[in-house]
């Protein structure tokens, strides 16, 4: 399994476990650091969409130094404001 696929699986499992946890407990922040580093653009956008959906329920903090992820996030924010 390559590192991108492994990171995608890890993110999916973390999101699922947090969703399950929040069914019976108070929401907790979701903090990730460069989790999208090995994602291609389409998968990165899909992950950002999932994080935006989660952000409607709890605080999401995403650290990155990748300009493409920053630009995709800005587009997502602009889209949701209109």
Distance (Å) of CA 52 to CA 1, 2, 3, 25, 74? 27, 26, 23, 20, 12
Question: Domain coordinates of the chain in residue numbers?
Answer: 3-81
pLDDT tens column, 47-81: 999 999 999 999 999 999 998 888 898 888 765 55
Question: How confident is residue 3, by pLDDT bands cut at 50, 70 and 90?
Answer: confident
Cβ-in-10-Å burial (0-12, 13-18, 19+) of 31 comes to: exposed
Question: How confident is residue 10, by pLDDT bands cut at 50, 70 and 90?
Answer: very high
DSSP code at position 57: T
Higher pLDDT, 45 or 2: 45
Share of the chain above pLDDT 90, in %: 65
């Amino acid at each position: 399994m390559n590192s991108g696929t492994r990171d995608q699986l890890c993110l999916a499992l973390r999101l699922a476990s947090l969703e399950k946890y929040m069914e019976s407990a108070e929401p907790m922040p979701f903090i990730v650091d460069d989790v999208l580093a090995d994602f291609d653009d389409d998968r990165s956008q899909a992950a950002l969409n999932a994080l935006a959906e989660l952000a409607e329920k709890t605080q999401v903090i995403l650290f990155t130094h990748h300009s493409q992820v920053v630009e995709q996030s800005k587009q997502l924010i602009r889209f949701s404001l209109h």
